[in-house]
Amino acid sequence: MRKLFGTDGIRAEANKYPLDGETAFTVGRAAAITLRGKRPKPLVVVGRDTRISGTMLCAAISSGLCAQGADVIDVGVVSTPAVAYITRSLDADAGIVISASHNPYQDNGIKFFGGDGFKLPDDVELKIERVMEETDFAAVRPDHGKIGTIKTNHALHEAYIDHLIGTVGEKIDLKDQIIVLDAANGAAHQLARVLFKRLNARIIPLGMEPNGTNINDGVGAVYPERMCHMVKETGASFGISLDGDADRLIMCDEYGELVDGDTIMAMCAKYLFERDMLQGNTVIATVMSNLGLEKALAGIGVRLERVSVGDRYVVERMRQGDFNLGGEQSGHLIFMDKITTGDGLLSALMVMRVIGDEKRPLSELASFMKAFPQTLKNVLINRKPPLEELPGVIAEIRKVEEELDGDGRVLVRYSGTENKARVMIEGPDQPTIEAMADRIVEQFKTALPLD
């Protein structure tokens, strides 16, 4: 069992264990030892988002790496997918991103990529933890001639942008497009400006003035309302909203209507399928993706396969089955034949390509998928036994499934981090599914009451 690493690296409140400077330094030392083997001195790429704690944590983990003999390339403020791409393109031993993604500025995180650009496997993260616990670092400290160095290289940002344009955007010209571009005051605020300027777009900026404490503060993919409002107010062609580390994309059409990750997956899958470019005629999504996505894809002969919640599990299944499109409703979208992780900017360019090739506005393209009304309710509980041990809950779930009769879906699961049960229902109309969810919630309250 890993103690520090969760499903997306180490994440906590900044300057408190385990996101304090001392622990970050030790993580760096342990990582340098764990990564040895490919070259005499491991090479590690380090990037961060715009949080006030980012420079402290970057300095600490980089110092730890160097103290144990690894060399560091510091690429500064840059998106998570950019670090993954740069790590792979340099054939580095690892990449590290200092970011808490869509969380508020008080939080931060440490996320590792392997030299292949994919997130480190669980067993490697566990090994880093064990090295931290078991190593007498004073006894294995290299002498003064073998310590590592830190080199700053922000020019690698351009290499990443070149990759995006060369892979997806070389035929895209946005000179007639007005785009509300929301960078969440985060990692891609400069990358996004440069990218869309090179594609000749006229940008209406939002969330482009980071100050260390305003990342994801009422802007970005988790808070797309301002983007939608600005599109309606300005008459823009559409809106693009990234999260703090720019691995998510949420959009809105020319009418200011939200276009979420499921809808983007649906329209991109249709585009790729019609051009015989969708590997395995399959899309990988999570159990949280809307039933409307499944039905829209089934209507054109494309299979939807669901995995557990988390882009890590989407990527795992895509790699196992050699599939090239997957993602989450939240906007983590993975185009595996183009990059190894979710990438909001690349996903936006894919949508631009669909719009350009189809010569239709985003509203028409998005109408391919009709989302089912959805509700998600959380209920506090005193423990988390297997659902099979809760006959009242199971009976109510079965009743609701019978009432939906194939025109909806029930998903009940426990939170991975809190004593909560999550009840998600999709169905024909909002009042009906709200009442159904309340019935299941009441069964949980009866079976697992709080003191």
Please tell us whether the domain made up of 374-447 is placed in CATH 3.30.310.50.
yes
Mean pLDDT of 103-125: 95
**Strand ordering across the sheet containing 202-206:** 202-206, 178-182, 238-242, 249-252, 258-259
The tokens describing 278, both together, are 């969708």
CATH entry, 259-366, from 3.30.420.10, 3.40.630.30, 3.40.120.10, 3.40.50.150: 3.40.120.10
Q: What pLDDT, in 10s, does the model give residues 168-188?
A: 877 898 998 999 999 999 999
Q: DSSP states of 38-69 as a string?
A: SSSS-EEEEEE-S-TTHHHHHHHHHHHHHHTT
Mean pLDDT of 100-115: 96
Instruction: Report, as residue numbers or ranges, the catalytic residues.
Output: 101
pLDDT of residue 255: 98
Which superfamily, per CATH, for 10-154?
A: Alpha-D-Glucose-1,6-Bisphosphate, subunit A, domain 3 (3.40.120.10)
Long-range CB pairs of 412-417 (<8 Å, 24+ gap) are: 412/387, 412/440, 413/287, 414/384, 415/378, 416/7, 417/6
Q: pLDDT band at 1, cuts 50/70/90?
A: confident
**Residue 273, amino acid:** F
Q: What is the dihedral of CA 229, 175, 187, 151, to 10 degrees?
A: -170
Residues 146 and 330: their CA atoms lie apart, in Å, by 45
Other Cβ atoms closer than 10 A to 298? 11
Q: What pLDDT, in 10s, does the model give residues 251-281?
A: 999 999 999 999 999 999 999 999 999 999 9
pLDDT of residue 169: 74
Under a CB-based contact definition with an 8 Å cutoff, are residues 218 and 306 in contact? no
Q: What is the pTM of this model?
A: 0.93
Mean pLDDT of 88-92: 97
Half-sphere exposure (Cβ direction) of 184: Cα atoms closer than 13 Å: 33
First to last CA, the chain: 29
pLDDT of residue 39: 86
Closest C-alpha to 184, from 161, 157, 212, 208:
208
Q: Is residue 338 over pLDDT 90?
A: yes
CATH entry, 159-256, from 3.40.309.10, 3.40.50.12780, 3.40.50.11750, 3.40.120.10: 3.40.120.10
Q: Tell me what percent of the residues of the chain surpass a pLDDT of 90.
A: 92
